[in-house]
Chains A and B, each alone.
Chain A
Amino acid sequence: MLYQLGLILRGLPWTILITAVSLLIGCILGYPIMLGRNARSLPVRLVSIAFISLIRAVPPLVWLFIIFFGVGTGAFSMSPLTAALIGLGLIAATNMAEIYRGGLISIHHGQWEAAQALNLGGAHTFRDVIAPQMFRVALPSSATYAIGLMKDTAIASTIGVPELAYQGARLTQETFQGLKVFGMVGLIYILLSLPIAWLSRRADLYLRAKVAR
């Protein structure tokens, strides 16, 4: 039992790596996508909406297959890890863009007016007044999404990234004890979501305390 747990846990660093890197890609790329989604020019906005809808309309598994098997065998080959990071990173980016947008919408109109009254320029207003509040509002939903993304990384096992679900599947093929093995795998995923939830609650409290007057 402990021995099997050890074998499964070899996948843990991979799960954490994929989650962290694709979340990072998503947090960074999500910002320009959100800006495009809210752009004043209609073509930019339409292209952004089309991009977001396209990425979200196709299941993550299908994206990973298209990237790994489709692009990988055709245009240029890549490792399963790279394919997983590109695929999940893109998916995370569109979801983060929508989360940022949710934060942006929640900001009171008076903030824009106040910035205008103070004669701040457009970029200045956004960077120093709107964006800090937007990120703070977006934090809880980002954390919820991070947990969802962590569970989505299980899909990377289908293209051969040796993470938790992959180790579980391999161990099941060797031992035929699927109930026990996948029970442990599922439990590890549930346990993994606890520290993320805890961290987000701490960060939220900290940021709230910072702006509370």
Chain B
Amino acid sequence: MNALLQGATWDDFTSWLPDLWSGFVLSIEVTIASLAVGLPLGLALALGVQTKAMLLRGICLAVVEIGRGAPALVLLQFIYFGLPSAGLPLTSFVSATIALGWSTGAYTSEIIRAGLDSVPGGHKEAVSALGLSRMDGLRYVILPQGLRVAVPALLGFSILVFQASSLCFTIALPELISRAYEIGTNTFFYFPALATAGLFYVAICMPASFLVSYVEHRAGAYAVR
């Protein structure tokens, strides 16, 4: 353990905390921004891949398949290093939001689609029998039921988005891991600094995943009925 701590003292730890904290806040901000972009996109894509218009469906399918098929890291670098070469320079925060939002949208579209599919067919027939328009049917009948089924999986995915925000290290966004790595290069206390950053992730993700499995358990009882 001494070999790992490399003689870092308690004062060292406390002196890093403000830096790590501001990185942590940025990680949270990226996560929230990505979810704010990704979840509506996921809903739109879920509806888009089921639409009858061939062209729109093709585009939505391509967006979903690329977003799910390519690693988030590659999407991130594709946006950050790629779009400037197409004449569209972006800050790292905006690139991170676009790339992680894209990835989130692609994955959550599958989750939301599964949720919408779980609504019994009779409800869709009832909607048309009642003469509701397609929009009203979605708004008042299908979405409220379908999205409720999708909630536990969406919460679980949100944890993964928070973890994926660590990838923003590669595009020079000063988030939690970039800060820890910087402390490491300045002081050579790599292990203590990185492990402390790891503890930030544990502090968020571990309780969150227990909460999600609790919600899953509760929702499971509801869905089985």
Contacts and interface: CB of A to CB of B under 8 A. Distances in A.
Interface of A: 53-54, 56-63, 65-66, 69-75, 151-152, 154-155, 157-158, 165, 168-169, 172, 176-183, 185-187, 189-190, 193
Interface residues of B, number: 45
Nearest to B176: A62
A73 B190 contact: yes
B144 interface: no
B85 A178 contact: yes
B69 A155 contact: no
A186 B4 contact: no
A117 to B, nearest CB: 29
A182 B81 contact: yes
A170 to B, nearest CB: 11
Contacts of B190: 69-70, 72-74
A28 B77 CA distance: 33
Contacts of B120: none
B169 A158 contact: yes
Given A69-B184, A69-B190, A151-B70, A190 B65 contact: yes
Nearest to B4: A74
Nearest to A150: B71
A21 B106 CA distance: 28
B177 interface: yes
A66 B85 contact: no
7 contacts: A56-B209, A57-B202, A66-B194, A165-B74, A182-B78, A190-B69, A193-B69
A176 B170 CA distance: 16
B167 A155 contact: yes
A152 B71 contact: yes
Nearest to B75: A186
Contacts of B166: 59, 61-62
A152 B206 CA distance: 20
A62 B65 contact: no
Interface in B25-77: 65-66, 69-75, 77
Contacts of A58: 163, 198, 201-202, 205
Interface of B: 3-6, 65-66, 69-75, 77-78, 80-86, 163-164, 166-167, 169-170, 177, 180-181, 184, 188, 190-191, 194-195, 197-198, 201-202, 205-206, 209-210
B77 A182 contact: yes
A178 B78 CA distance: 6
B85 A176 contact: yes
Given A155-B167, A177-B85, A168 B77 contact: yes
Nearest to B184: A69
B85 A179 contact: yes
Nearest to A182: B78
Given A57-B201, A151-B70, A154-B71, A74 B191 contact: yes
A73 B83 CA distance: 36
A75 B4 contact: yes
Nearest to A54: B202
Contacts of B78: 178-179, 182-183, 185-186
B74 A179 contact: no
A18 B202 CA distance: 26
Contact of A73 (B86, B188, B195): B188
B120 to A, nearest CB: 25
Contacts of B170: 157-158, 169
